Structure formats: structure tokens, C-alpha cells
Structure 1
């Protein structure tokens, strides 16, 4: 006989996945009850839209748990059956809405002992019957219709949580036009002190995936009340502490990117928020507050003008960065002597260190600039040899004595003529080469031998004897080479020293090729 094959039994399910309500509840059991209840309130706010309306939230001890009731006067729900489906929403997603695909409502519902949702003449009931969870949809008589939406949930919480819930929702920043009542107490709209325009990341569901695009928005700075911790708010809903020390909440007027439990913002978001608010908050900050870590972290990302304000307010005006001792020279001590406050950037946080290095000079730079200005001031009192011998005042008499002490009028004029020729030879051939002139000044009191001005005037110190008695000596020639290098680079940086080396080589070539000319033109300068 042929073998008979029996087909296996077949069971058909309505869907591919079965979501365990108990498992879903276990995932959310550790969450702050306030963060679950706020999902009801934010759904109610979204339902009201821009037109405003009323929301009543009640939290009452009942039957060994806490009964949560949230009623709004919004647009209502078109299809109550949809709220049973996880990750289903009938809304077109917008970064200006608080809710995320109805997820928050389902998270709270799965923990409830029982619940009802009523909108218009429709009601959906979630009950426990004979140890099983059951759902019923009810059509109400016309006289029992509920405007907007009414959500009632019996939660397995201890009654002590009620005080925490009431305090949390009394701290909401209620949008203008919304009448919110929590356990019979009105939560009034609070005015913002400042409104900041900014571009910040947000969250948006697009093509089935969550993205975090940058969107233009406003941040409202709302003064904190006594006992409040400054918080980040998403469209009036508290999210998490903002981690700054100024007395303002930051109410972001768009969806805030958060972690899955929506009790903390996404990584890096606080830094972006701090950076956006810092320019507005800066006048409110004390000297101590300006030096706090949140400012230091945000400062490198701010405009240069804001960075300079931070430095001035937090560290002072007349400041310089410490540098190590260089041989026998201690620039930090020199800077202190001229009244400069020294900042050791090794003792500052990374953000402050970055802007200090960008905007604050070192003590070496401060000291050199101070000396340069002193020399410039002394050089401003320069004089010509001819004028000294014509004038009869005391200053001219003193200058004449100095000129005579180094060889007299004729020798000084010859040294000046050689200095002019030598510097001109050094600079000939450079682009924009100088046509230098030479003058005299009293420079010893400012610790200088010679100086080169921006308009290519070489000023020689008449009170430095060896400059006149041995003009062909190594010290004198080194001085002239150094000053000519300042025509090419005004500051003593690496580039200056490179130019100095080149000019030293050029000077050797000049004296080698033009040695006979030098001896013929200035025969009396080879020695006294």
C-alpha cells in the first residue's frame, strides 16, 4: 500500500511580533514616576497646539496606589484603538512637538493596574480580569461625551510619590495661553527675562529613522525661583539640570535630543546650549562664576569678542601668561615689577587655557613691548648734532658734553654717516627696501643702545660710549645689524632671528667687498 503522509498542524497569528506588556513594564519600572506622568502632560500640550487651552492633572492616593488623571481641552483622538500599538502615531512628526510616536503613553500604560482613555463619545478601557489583561472599546451616550481627551490610570506607586509629582509639575514653564491646574493649584505662565535666537540639534522621525538635524530655534531664559535647580526645558517640560551656576532655566522652543528614557539630553547638547546662552549671560556672571568649568568648556566655541570679555571679567585686564625662566632672565618677575598680573595656564582648565593662549601675551612679550614703548618714548626726544650746537638751553648743553666725550661733533657725524651707509647696504635689494635716516637720543635710562622706528629712522644712543669710540667693533656692528633686521620684522620672534642671521651674512660680505671704501670714506673711525 502507498504510504499516507499527514500534514502537520498549523497555527496562524495576526502579527509577526508579540510584545510582552509585563516585559515592557519591567523595562520602565526604575524610571522616575514624574518622567512617566510628564508623557501624559506633553501629549496634552501637543493636543492643545498653539491656540492654548486647559489641562487638569490630578494625582491622588487610591486603592493602595496612585490614581493619575489628565484632562485636556485639545483636539481629541480620532482612533482610540491606535494607542494599543507600540511605535504607532497618527501624527506627522515635527520637531516642534513634544511627543515621540506616542511611546511615552505606552510606557506608562504598561505599568498601570488599569486605565481608561476617553475622547468625545469613545472610550477605551484597559482592565485586569481573572489575571488577564483585557481591552474594551465603549461607545458613550451623547450626554457623556468628553471634550478633548481624558486619561485615567491607576499606578502601583506608593502614596509618598504624590508630593514629588506635584512639585515636579508645579515647576513646569507653562506656555502662554495654557491654563494648567495640578491637584487644584494653578501653575501660571512665567515670563522669560531673555530670548536667544540659536541653531541647535533637535530630533525628527524621517523615513522611519530618528535623525538629529540642526534647526533654528529660540531659548527662553526664565529666572529660577527659590529652591529650584536650573534646568533644561523642552517646550516647557523639565528635562534635566543644565549644569550651570546662574539663576536661569533654559526653555528650548523645539524638541530636545534625549536618551531613550528622556531624562537626560544627548551627549554634547549641554555644551551647545551653554555656548548659545553664554554671550547673553555673561553680564550676569560674577568674577568667580566666569571662571567656572561650564564657561571654560563653552568659551573656545564662542566668538573672539566674547572670549575677550570672558578673559577680562574672569582674569583681569593687565595680565600675561607665565613663561619658564630663560637663563638668568626671569620675565615673570620683570612683568610683576611693571604691574602685570601673571596667569599660570597650567592651573586652568583646557577651555580657559585655549583662549588664554590665543588672546593673552606671555610675560616675555609684555616685557619686550613695555621696553619697546619706553625706547620709542625716549627716541621721540631725538635730536640732530647741528641743533645741539646752536641751542643754548640746559638739555642742549648736556648733549654737547656727551658728544665731546665720545670724540666731538665731527666724529659723531662720521659715525652717523657710516651707520646710515651700512644699514642701507644691508637692506638694499629687499622688496620695499628702506631709505633710512639717523638721529641721536638719550637711551641709556631705558636700557637701550639704539632703536629702529616704523618709518625707518635709526636712533643711536649718544650715551653709549663704545658705539662712538669703536664703530667698527663687533658690538657696534651687531647693534646696527640687529636694528636693520627690525625693518624686516618688528618683533623678536623666530622669523626675526632668521632675518638676523641672513643680515649677519650680508654684513660680512659688505665689509669684505667694501672694506677699502670704508677705510677711505671714514679713515678716522678705525680707532681713537
Structure 2
């Protein structure tokens, strides 16, 4: 067993077949993306990618070319000290592309590294700048189409020309840039990865027609995400082992920073996405961002649902009741700090209950008789009648009457428009029918409307078939007139 340079025995050996199988399984677009990463890091000004049935070619004009031959074949060997703004990591990308091929050539400044059935060879060439990587492997039309679709999402660095199969890749339309965003990143120090938090710029772009919004790392697409825009982080992102996905906590933090920064400028549609709900469930937003969300997403005079009866009363008083109980609890609790609940709204509009029970005496007998007669005819049972006076702060909180379905009592507000002296007056009859229709529930829903229409029709039919039914309850003036 040989000795490593640090004196420790070499404990492991690499299975080339296993390494090849592992990388052969990776999507073609992800492999080629590694080459773009290397070219951009080496300050190439022009990068050309050609995907053909039997060959993949990536060529760049980076000034120095490949720094060391070992970078092409020694697994995990790479630059030992690189800042977070360097795309490459762990020295794997180039080796993975070569391993996924049947044979390969790495043509760099002054030499070409050949990988074929006979092994690895180096031969001289006359190249004076850049690197040309040729990967020989058979690919299907579908593989190439999917690779082109991914690679054309790339946002090249400023001043860099990227061509995919002869077509220039142009950056999408910019939306915004956020400076000094505190995000976790990865730096390499003496070959060891360290995770640190660092302020960086985050660029947002409008996806082109047909594009799915993606998370980017330094211009290279990492994975689709559910934000409305392409989001390009200008430093390394902590990624999963295959470098095709970011960690969930990282993505939530990034979304929270974007929402906190842009909420006042975003449209209702942009703020209505699931990504905003997820942020609300995991982060406490500042007053300005939370206020912008409420103002743009919820309707004017919105109140939070409490229960059918209170919600219905809030609607009567002009509120727009929104039921957010399907939201995560943490998100709902945060909204409750700025959006009034339906019961609080009703109390604010009506003031604390200040009903005064009234005994109107003989002058209310005809009205009580009409209520009992109609309730027996329409609902099959008599209901009781109570009278009260209610003082309210706001005229819109005024009620004519209300029905207590638990006690089966129709309560009449003496300050309302119910006519005790003429209970057969049309408005009074309408109020009585309306309240009797609440026998089965407090809400003014379609079921209520259906009951009210049924009661009105039934009452009219009773009057046609039995014209003397309500005659005893008419006022004396009406009876003699």
C-alpha cells in the first residue's frame, strides 16, 4: 500500500466503472453546465457549445486554458482556495463529463489530453488560447433537446458571448437587483469547504415566454422554483450532492429576503403565489411588507372569518369576510396582527351590546298575533316575540329585527321601522318573513334566499285561499276603511 504525501496510508481506491456509471446517469444538460461553469470562472469571453448525435463539443477562449493536466483526471483535485464568487467546487465537473463519455479529448494551450480505450495520453498541439472539450458519446434527440432547453436558460456574465448550437443565448429582461442580501454561501480554504453568511447581490429576471422560473447560481440554472421570476444569486449556493438543488431552508430565506425587499412594489398576482404563504409561515415580515401584502391581496374592509353567525353580521355591516383558516397557523397568526377579526369588527361598529328590553303592552298585540299566525302557517310552529331598544355608534350597524333560532324568538327593535300599529304594512311584513327565514341558519346564503322565496309564495297563497286569515290583525282604520 502506497503512502500519501501527509504520511497517512491511502485507504481508498476509486472504482472507475462505478464512477462512470454514476456520471453516465446524470442528465446531459447538467454535465455540460459544468463546462460552462469552468469557462466562466476562467474569464472566457466566448463559449461555444455544439450538441450532436455522437459528440458534444464545448470550446472557450479563456486566456490560460487548463492550468494543470491533473485537473482533467484526478478526482476531487481542484483549486484549494477559491472565494464564494467562484463557480467551481470540489474539482469534479470536468472529470464527470469525461467519465460519462465513451472517449474524450481535452485540447488546451499547447497540449491535448486524450482518453480512449487504450488509456490516457498527452500529445502536443498548437492551440494558443482557451480549451476545447470533445466528448464522444451517442445521445438521443430527447436528451439533446432537454439539454439545450436547460443550457439556453443560462445568463452569461456581462460581456461574455454564449452560443448553443450556433445560436446566441441572450439574457432575459431584468426586473430588479437587491444588494447586500445576507445569505449562506460556500468558500474553499485549503481545500476545505466552509459555510459562511455573506452579503451578496441577487438579480431578478422576467422569464421568457414558455420558460419556468429558476433559481440560479452566478448565471447558471440550478433548479425550477415557485417564485414568479428567475432569481440569480451572485455567489455560491449551498447545494445537494448532485449540485442540482438548493437546501430548503436556504430557499425559504432567499424568498423571505425578496418579499421583504419588494412587497410594496409587487402586484396582487405576484403576491398571491404559494411562495408568499410559505414565507409568512416561516418568517416574521416587517410592518411595511406585511401591510403591502394585506392591502394588495385582501379586499378592502377585509376581516378574518370567525364563524357563520358573526361573519354574516360583519357582512351586513359592510365588511368583506375572508376565510384564511386553510393557511399555515404561523401565517394566520401573523396576519391576525394587522387584519381585524369579524367579531372585533362587529363590536367596533355596533359597540358593546346595550339592548334594553321593552314591554310595549297592548299596542304590540296585533304584531305579536301576525308573527304567531304566519310562523304557524309557514314553519309549522309558533314563535315568541320580544321587543328591545338598541343603541348603536354607527347607523350602518342598525337592525330592524333579529331571529334567535335557539330560543325560537323573533326580537323586534323598537327603534327600527317595524310598525306596531300596522303590522300588515308591506315593509313590516317583509321584515317578519325575512326573520322567519332565519329559522334554519343565520347566513344570507342561497339556502336562505330559497326559504325566503318559499315563505313569501306560501304566505301569498294563504291570503288568496283564506283572505280572512290576517284580517283580525289589521289596524282599526284599515278594517273600517
* TM-score, normalization by structure 1: 0.61
Q: Which residue of 9, 22, 25 corresponds with 1:27?
A: 22
Q: Which runs of 5+ in 2 are unaligned?
A: 5-9, 355-388, 395-481
Task: Give the equivalent residue in structure 1 for 2:299.
Answer: 316
| Matches of 1:191 and 1:292, distance apart in 2 | 21
SS at match of 1:75: coil
Task: Give the equivalent residue in structure 1 for 2:33.
Answer: 38
For the 8 Å contact 2:64–2:109, the answer to whether it is kept is no
Is the alpha carbon distance of 1:318 and 1:219 closer, same or farther for their aligned partners in structure 2, counting shifts above 3 Å?
same
Q: Please state if 1:446 is matched with 2:392.
A: yes
For the 8 Å contact 1:124–1:138, the answer to whether it is kept is yes
Task: Give the equivalent residue in structure 2 for 1:416.
Answer: none
| Matches of 2:336 and 2:299, distance apart in 1 | 15
Q: Please state if 1:166 is matched with 2:144.
A: no
Q: Please state if 1:54 is matched with 2:46.
A: yes
Q: Please state if 1:135 is matched with 2:108.
A: no
For the 8 Å contact 1:296–1:351, the answer to whether it is kept is no
CA deviation vs aligned residue, 1:446-469 (integer Å, no higher than 9, x gap): 379xxxxxxxxxxxxxxxxxxxxx
SS at match of 2:95: helix
Task: Give the equivalent residue in structure 1 for 2:184.
Answer: 201
Deviation at 1:279, TM superposition (A): 4.2
Deviates more, 1:69-78 or 1:19-28: 69-78
SS at match of 1:251: strand
For the 8 Å contact 1:41–1:70, the answer to whether it is kept is no
Task: Give the equivalent residue in structure 1 for 2:135.
Answer: 153
| Matches of 2:42 and 2:108, distance apart in 1 | 12
For the 8 Å contact 1:68–1:155, the answer to whether it is kept is no
For the 8 Å contact 1:193–1:221, the answer to whether it is kept is yes
Task: Give the equivalent residue in structure 2 for 1:263.
Answer: 244
Q: Please state if 1:301 is matched with 2:280.
A: no
Deviation at 1:191, TM superposition (A): 4.6
CA deviation vs aligned residue, 1:116-136 (integer Å, no higher than 9, x gap): 22221122211112xxxx111
CA deviation vs aligned residue, 1:261-291 (integer Å, no higher than 9, x gap): 1111112222122112224554675545533
| Matches of 1:294 and 1:25, distance apart in 2 | 38
Q: Which residue of 334, 345, 370 corresponds with 2:324?
A: 345
For the 8 Å contact 1:43–1:98, the answer to whether it is kept is yes
SS at match of 1:57: strand
CA deviation vs aligned residue, 1:157-203 (integer Å, no higher than 9, x gap): 33542233223222211111101122211123445221012111222
Deviation at 1:89, TM superposition (A): 1.0
SS at match of 1:196: strand
| Matches of 1:369 and 1:74, distance apart in 2 | 73
Task: Give the equivalent residue in structure 1 for 2:235.
Answer: 254
TM alignment of 1:285-434, pairs within 5 A? 286-287=267-268, 289-299=270-280, 300-324=283-307, 330-372=309-351
Q: Which runs of 5+ in 1 are unaligned?
A: 1-10, 376-442, 449-528
Q: Which residue of 167, 173, 176 corresponds with 1:185?
A: 167
For the 8 Å contact 1:298–1:351, the answer to whether it is kept is no
| Matches of 1:233 and 1:101, distance apart in 2 | 19
Task: Give the structure with the higher percent helix.
Answer: 1
Q: Which residue of 241, 253, 272 corresponds with 2:253?
A: 272
SS at match of 1:268: helix
SS at match of 1:161: helix
| Matches of 1:82 and 1:262, distance apart in 2 | 19
CA deviation vs aligned residue, 1:310-365 (integer Å, no higher than 9, x gap): 1221112312223358xxxx543332222112233323344541322222222232
Deviates more, 1:95-104 or 1:208-217: 208-217
* TM-score, normalization by structure 2: 0.67
For the 8 Å contact 1:293–1:349, the answer to whether it is kept is no
CA deviation vs aligned residue, 1:251-270 (integer Å, no higher than 9, x gap): 11111111111111112222
For the 8 Å contact 1:118–1:146, the answer to whether it is kept is no
For the 8 Å contact 2:81–2:189, the answer to whether it is kept is no
Q: Which residue of 89, 94, 111 corresponds with 1:122?
A: 111
